[in-house]
Amino acid sequence: MKGVFTCFALYFISILSAYSQSNYELRGSISTSGGEPLIGASIQVAGTSFGAVTDIEGSYSLVFDKPGEHQLKLSFIGFIPVNEKININKPVFTRNFQLEEETSSLQEVEIVGRKEEGYKNTSTFIGSKTQTNIKDLPQSVSYVTKELILDQGLMRVGETVKNFSGVSQFTFYDDITIRGFRINGGSNTQLVNGMRSTSGFWKQPLINYLERVEVLKGPSSALFGNASPGGVVNRVTKKPLDINRNSMSFSVGSFNNFRGLADFTGPANKSKTLLYRLNLGYEDAQNFRDLQFDKNIVVAPSLSFIASEKTRVNLDLVFNNSSSRLDRGQSTFENDLYSTPTSRSLNTANDYLKEQTYTITTSLNHQINKDISFNASYMKTGYNEDLTEHRSSNSYALDGDGNTIGTMVGRQVFIRKRTRFVDNLSAYFNIQKTTGKLTHKLVLGYDYAQETLPAGGSQLTANGYKNAPNTGSISRFNPANKGAYLLDKNGNPVPNVSHFDLENPINSQTMQDMSKYFYAQRSFDPTLYHLNGFYAQDQITLGKLEAMIGIRYEVYTDFENYKKENEEKVKQNVLLPRLGLVFKANENMNFYGTYVEGYNPQTASTISNPNAGGPFDPLISSMVEFGMKSDWFNKRLELTTGIYKIDQKNTLYQVPGENDLLEQIGKETAKGVEFDVTGRILMNWSIMASYAYNVAEITESPNEEDLGRQKPNAPKHQGNLWTKYEFDQGALTGLGVGFGANFVTERNLSLSEAQTIPGYNVMNAALFYTTGNVRLQLNVNNLADKTYWVGGYDYLRLFPGAPRNILGTITFSF
């Protein structure tokens, strides 16, 4: 027994001895160069996963199992990383570190991948053509990062806009309003990496290849040429990184939704002079709307070649192939909003929409010397549409006396094919210079953009009512001339395309014999426009003041009657100023004010009506905005608030008594207040919230009933909240929960009728669990299963939001 006791004693002594030898602790703090503690800064042993993050006081602690030398790596977003070798030779070793804030590089196009991880994004290129801290930009910018997109389970740009103040959906196409002014994918002012692009108006592609989505609010013509006065949307693609990051995710959910995504990036050679990134996406999903589906394939490779420390070349390609049906919206019984289910669609099984879109971009960034860099980019976009659809004729069916039948919707058929190309070239110099007490960041540049609709675009249209001999159709029914129409046994006109019966939809949704329709042919005449823009901009810093002064001269050329004998060049010239001022009150808070102007041409081909009259002056807009931007909690949380007023004049209205003739006598005004919060309250507690109050009205119009009326699909009040908390201690480590809500108030559907859709409040939730390299995620959207509409034109074309739905995702990182 004594021998056994001796063995146990020796065993425990050896354990205690081993434990005492493992007590080698490195402790200390990490702060800014000014002594402010950095909360959540990372300290890691190089080449291992062993490390820690600083607490709320900026303190850290690392415990090693033996003494010796260790290579440490310290990092924090927005600060220069530090590598330092530490020799730990005593039980408690104290070392404090200070990190220096990182300065922006001279880039024009964003060709360096973003390493930040979280909802907050520090800098942008969209507002100044050079890398600028968002806090220092004298204009409002809203954005969502790929991390928020992932957490909310979003896959369309239209789904992201609920997170932006002052931005809302107009329809569920690629179609939104910004501060009450509408823009869409076919408007040619959508941006990709700050370059003008185009897409189909209808379906929105997957966005798994995007680093973030940004909105620069207010007229931006001084930077990008003709654009909406509300703002522009910029899609920033993911760029290659010099570190390996790979992930694959698979999602299944409601409405037979399946999605597979992949993201691979890293160096392609040992010297890290060639970097790559490849994003892949596949989607096969049904919809809560009858007969709707989406099949999408996205291939998005990107390469960065670092020729030297001064020269970098980037190549990006995004290809999207989409097969779906075009959903023209929900129709209700006449003037009865809740009379049909939100799932009701007017399509038939014959219908299809096939779209192909590509963008290919080449970018060059060359540092000529320490003060001057040259930047050049070229992007080409191609879009192809192949459409066959049954849709409403934007009216109810008529009986033999010309009265509407409120339960039957008139239908028409479109068979359409067309192609569109956009070319965009940008080249400019970024110059940094100091003159006395003034620091300058000067941009001198040139832009060229061109959009072409080639010959061959055409459409077959079947609509109206059959004529009496049943040899053709008449577009409108006139009961005073009943004998000209084919009538049924009840004396009602026979439609060319059968009406949609809202009370018995199944028969209307089955395959139709389209050979029995009478078609009219319409061609889309070839079109060509191009613009040449020359601009100069200077960001001048004097102490706590920073001024932005810019001017752009643009020549817009539209080829009227393109490729016809009477082809004519129509030119419009415009000079656009931009003025902004930032006052840096302290380290955390900046105040800003800005004045900008914008324009949009109104040539005959632009308004798609050669009989409209004119020539017309362009739409002219201007904006005044004042606000405050601030960073809190060691720059983890960003708070922005602003007030603005936007005016636009020269809006076209129809001349009374004329079918086509227009006159430019309209004026619109939008004014409001916005508030945004983005980032982290604690390192494991993220938040994004916004609120906007916007009055967007017609202030001059020939129709008195328009005056003072809120513009379509522009809510006066809207807001959102999304927050995520991740447990990082105890038994719940690895678990995360998310909750969000967004609301909008009542909206008008059109200016000509007093139809409205009600406001709504929708709540969403998410659950996350991360273990090792695997993340499990469950999103539940529309928790209360609310019936609501995101937008619409009238009660024949409503765009409902989805009912309660679930999406489960598993992500592998390696």
Q: How confident is the model at residue 187, as a pLDDT?
A: 63
The pLDDT tens digits for 762-781 are 999 999 999 989 999 999 99
DSSP 470: S
CA distance 307 to 382: 30
The CA-based angle 86-91-93, given to 5 degrees, is 40
CA distance 24 to 17: 13
Contact yes or no for 691/719 (Cβ under 8 A): yes
- Cα Rg for the chain, rounded, in angstroms? 30
pLDDT band per the 50, 70, 90 thresholds, residue 3? low
Strands 97-99 vs 24-32: parallel, antiparallel or unpaired:
parallel
Strands 231-237 vs 190-192: parallel, antiparallel or unpaired:
parallel
CA distance 338 to 199: 33
Contact yes or no for 650/666 (Cβ under 8 A): yes
Q: How confident is the model at residue 46, as a pLDDT?
A: 78
Mean pLDDT of 789-799: 95
Of the candidate ranges 196-210, 325-339, 800-814, the one whose mean pLDDT is the lowest:
196-210
The pLDDT tens digits for 590-648 are 999 999 999 888 876 666 666 677 778 888 999 999 999 999 987 889 999 999 999 99
CA distance 326 to 293: 9
Q: Is residue 109's pLDDT more than 90?
A: no
For the chain, which residues make up each domain, given as ranges?
A: 2-99, 123-236, 237-460+521-813
Q: How confident is the model at residue 107, as a pLDDT?
A: 43
Handedness of CA 730, 736, 739, 740 (dihedral sign): positive
The structure tokens 């679930």 sit at: 806
Peptide bond into 341 cis (omega under 30): no
Q: Token digits for 324? A: 């779906």
Greatest alpha-carbon span in the chain? 121
Q: Which residue type is seen at 366?
A: H
Q: Which residue type is seen at 651?
A: T
Q: How confident is the model at residue 99, as a pLDDT?
A: 86
The pLDDT tens digits for 238-261 are 999 888 889 999 999 999 999 999
The CA-based angle 546-549-553, given to 5 degrees, is 160
CA distance 686 to 680: 4
CA distance 534 to 104: 25
Helix H or strand E encompassing 20: helix 2-21
Q: Is residue 16's pLDDT more than 50?
A: no
Helix H or strand E encompassing 435: strand 404-435
Mean pLDDT of 211-239: 89
Q: How confident is the model at residue 104, as a pLDDT?
A: 42
Q: Token digits for 727? A: 């447990």
Q: How confident is the model at residue 22, as a pLDDT?
A: 54
Strands 51-53 vs 42-45: parallel, antiparallel or unpaired:
antiparallel
Tell me the pLDDT of the chain averaged across its residues.
89
Contact yes or no for 645/699 (Cβ under 8 A): no
Q: How confident is the model at residue 115, as a pLDDT?
A: 59
Q: Is 139 helix (H, G, I), strand (E, B) or coil?
A: coil
Mean pLDDT of 359-367: 94
Q: Token digits for 148? A: 């928020």
Mean pLDDT of 279-295: 96
The pLDDT tens digits for 369-396 are 989 999 999 999 999 999 999 999 999 9
Q: Is 481 helix (H, G, I), strand (E, B) or coil?
A: helix
Beta bridge partners of 359: 318, 381
- Residues near 198 by beta carbon (within 8 Å), at least 6 away in sequence: 185, 186, 188, 190, 381, 383, 420, 422, 451
Q: Which CATH number fits domain 123-236: 1.10.443.10, 1.10.260.40, 1.10.3720.10, 2.170.130.10?
A: 2.170.130.10
Start-to-end C-alpha separation, the chain: 54
What class, spelled out in words, does domain 2-99 have in CATH? mainly beta
Mean pLDDT of 485-508: 95
Q: How confident is the model at residue 8, as a pLDDT?
A: 46
The pLDDT tens digits for 433-472 are 999 999 999 999 999 999 999 999 999 999 999 999 999 9
Higher-confidence residue of 779 and 26: namely 779
Q: How many residues are present in the chain?
A: 814
Q: What are phi and psi of 247, to 5 degrees?
A: -155, 150
CA distance 608 to 734: 56
Helix H or strand E encompassing 721: strand 717-726
CATH topology of domain 237-460+521-813: Maltoporin; Chain A (2.40.170)
